[in-house]
Homo-oligomer: A and B are copies of this chain.
Amino acid sequence: MAKAPKTAIQPTRADDYPEWYQQVIRAADLAESSPVRGCMVIKPWGYRLWENMQRALDDMFKATGHQNAYFPLFIPMSFLEKEAEHVEGFAKECAVVTHHRLEPDPDGGLRPAGALEEPLIVRPTSETIIGATYAKWVQSHRDLPILINQWANVVRWEMRTRMFLRTAEFLWQEGHTVHATSEEAIAETQQMINVYADFAQNWMAMPVTIGSKTPAERFPGAVETLSIEAMMQDRKALQAGTSHFLGQNFSKAQEIMFQAENGERQYAWTTSWGVSTRLVGALIMSHSDDDGLVLPPRLAPDQIVILPIYRDDSQRAEVLQHVESIKSELESLSFFGQTLRVAIDDRDVRGGEKKWHHVKRGVPIRLEVGPKDIEKGSVFVGRRDQAKSFGMSRDEFIATAPAILEEIQSGLFNRALQLRNENTKVIKTESDFRDFFSSSNEKELHGGFAHCHFADEQSLESLLKELKVTIRCIPSEDNDEAGTCFSTGRAAEKKAIFAKAY
């Protein structure tokens, strides 16, 4: 019997995708579960990745006129009650603070004491607390628009958690804006989903589709929710970012009013939009392979790692000096306008182990340099997106390093796009729809994206429930042709993307 090729990650994607995902996270040292139920510890390598995401997004927010601010972690319970759909959406998963101190328990240990008059909710999202503040800030049309973002932690008491994808506490940004007109607020909602799509595609190398959510899938309290949806390698969809047009729902609940130019007092129009550490999960499932994490160069904490090879101390001095010079030459280059990020790994660890350390962590390029390479003026290059390593002239490598990184960046995008294209199908009958999704189980592939005309979501409820499929979005582009619903046969204006989803 032929022995299967050994991979760094066990099980492989084909064997057990959900478990493969957990093992990639572990092998790459991105995060681990914590002693606190549903919360994770983000380890340095994972946090550096998140910091790079933050920096890129923050620059994009500022370039579109937004400023950062910070609002309280706690929300008085009565605030949540003001918007009926909103409280409905979040009441079942709230961490509730009821006491403000601990006192000795007569039975030993401690117990909560100092009951609060009104319980406080640890923010699951901040529309209500930020809205209450905006109500004070907004008086006149001259105070508008308000364009503010906050980087923060939020808590949603999820029962089934999975690292990065769904955790009780997660890190995110939430933009909250106020506008004088509906048109402006809609334009903002659209602008920010475009920013997210730009980030997903050009930084994360992850193709996404922009679309609007159906009523049942909207953010609680929103008039319209736009999302970006990506296909993971197991063909499931992942919602990677959302932008909500809130209409006047929250401004009415929170009394955000302004005096218009004509003197009339009017309710303002608000939006909110957010992405979270969930993006790290999306990144992992878009590009990683059976040897571990694969990182797009624009977000990789280290883009190039140099592994000096030597046998003794005299060689060591020479090799280290040489790799330091390579490092500083590389650091004089730039990649997409930023200085190249280059590390030297001189830890006292066996060569093979050291190489695999960086393979599993997804570093785009590894460079091995020993005494013989110095003699020959060469370097030994390992690309994370290719199985084979190859020798190259030192000077040629340095001259082409940004181009190689760019090739890796676009290669990852194209590979993901191809996967999505191969697994996207226009489906016109319920029977084809069933076939498309029916072979799925937890460890296998999950159909893909079915583009189907549909008339209304209620009539599909039982079918979708049976197949564990959801409507991801109604794509904004290339969606003007009318047709008939794949299931009911009724006239339908738009196609939606149907998929199993995270």
Contacts and interface: CB of A to CB of B under 8 A. Distances in A.
Interface of A: 32, 34-36, 39-44, 46-48, 50-51, 67-81, 87, 91-103, 109-112, 114, 119-122, 129, 132-133, 148, 152-153, 155, 157, 169, 171
A120 B72 contact: no
Of all A-B residue pairs in the complex, the 8 with the closest CB atoms, nearest first, are: A39-B72, A44-B67, A96-B99, A42-B70, A91-B102, A100-B157, A96-B112, A36-B72
Contacts of A100: 93-96, 157
Nearest to A72: B39
Given A87-B110, A100-B157, 16 more contacts: A32-B133, A34-B72, A35-B132, A39-B72, A41-B72, A42-B69, A43-B69, A44-B68, A51-B68, A73-B169, A77-B102, A92-B102, A96-B99, A98-B99, A98-B112, A114-B157
- Number of this chain's copies in the complex: 2
A273 B45 CA distance: 22
A98 B75 CA distance: 15
A36 B94 contact: no
B97 A70 contact: no
28 contacts: A32-B133, A35-B76, A39-B74, A40-B72, A41-B69, A41-B71, A41-B133, A42-B69, A42-B71, A44-B68, A44-B69, A47-B67, A47-B69, A50-B70, A73-B153, A73-B169, A74-B95, A77-B109, A80-B102, A80-B110, A81-B109, A92-B102, A93-B101, A94-B100, A95-B99, A95-B120, A111-B119, A152-B153
Contacts of A34: 71-72, 129, 133
Contacts of A78: 109
